Amino acid sequence: MKIAIASDHAGYRYKEAIKSHLEERGHEAVDFGTDSEESVDYPTFIRPAALSVAAGECDRVIVLGGSGNGEAMTANRVPGVRCALCWDETSARLARQHNDANGLSLGQRLVSLKMALLIVDVWLDTPFEGGRHVRRIKAIDAVE
């Protein structure tokens, strides 16, 4: 799977670790930055990563920041992106099963690296259930 990944300065360390983890799992990670812990404005990096999913250039997107809130909001402004802010295995699993989330947002200041990697794995490995959830996804996308 080709996965876009981006962060601001507050998510940089986890971005680098997750990027390596994705590659170890056989995925292609496309890094949209940032490239250090120097303060930056997250939309500069998050929006292009989300746009790559909307354009079909990447299959999914992972965005990171201090809390992950602003990054999720930025990604969700891109039509066709459904980015879920996740904090544990259950939130990641339900984001995929019920919401067909093609975006994942994580807060480096809110979860341990071990938990972040587990969240990534659950999010990658959980299929969308379909069924009754399809009409809800269509309703979400219709707002766009």
Q: Which residue has 């996740």 as its token pair?
A: 86
CB atoms within 10 A of CB 84: 24
> Which pLDDT value is given to residue 144?
54
Q: What is the pLDDT of residue 42?
A: 97
Catalytic residues: 71, 98
Q: CB count, 10 Å around CB of 56?
A: 9
pLDDT on residue 142: 83
Per-residue pLDDT of the chain in tens (144 residues, 90 and over written 9): 999 999 999 999 999 999 999 999 999 999 999 999 999 999 999 999 999 999 999 999 999 999 999 999 999 999 999 999 999 999 999 999 999 999 999 999 999 999 999 999 999 999 999 889 999 999 888 865
Domain residue spans of the chain: 2-143
Tokens of 111: 């979860």
Assigned architecture for domain 2-143: 3-Layer(aba) Sandwich (3.40)
Q: How much is the pLDDT for 130? A: 87
Q: What's residue 11's pLDDT?
A: 98
Q: What's the Cα-to-Cα distance from 80 to each of 18, 30, 31, 54, 70, rounded to whole Å? A: 23, 19, 20, 5, 18
**pLDDT of amino acid 127:** 98
> In whole angstroms, what is the distance from residue 72 CA to residue 60 CA?
13
Which residue pairs from 118-121 have beta carbons closer than 8 angstroms and sit at least 24 positions apart in sequence?
Answer: 118/89, 119/86, 119/87, 119/88, 119/89, 119/91, 119/92, 120/18, 120/21, 120/22, 120/62, 120/92, 121/25
pLDDT at position 140 is 84
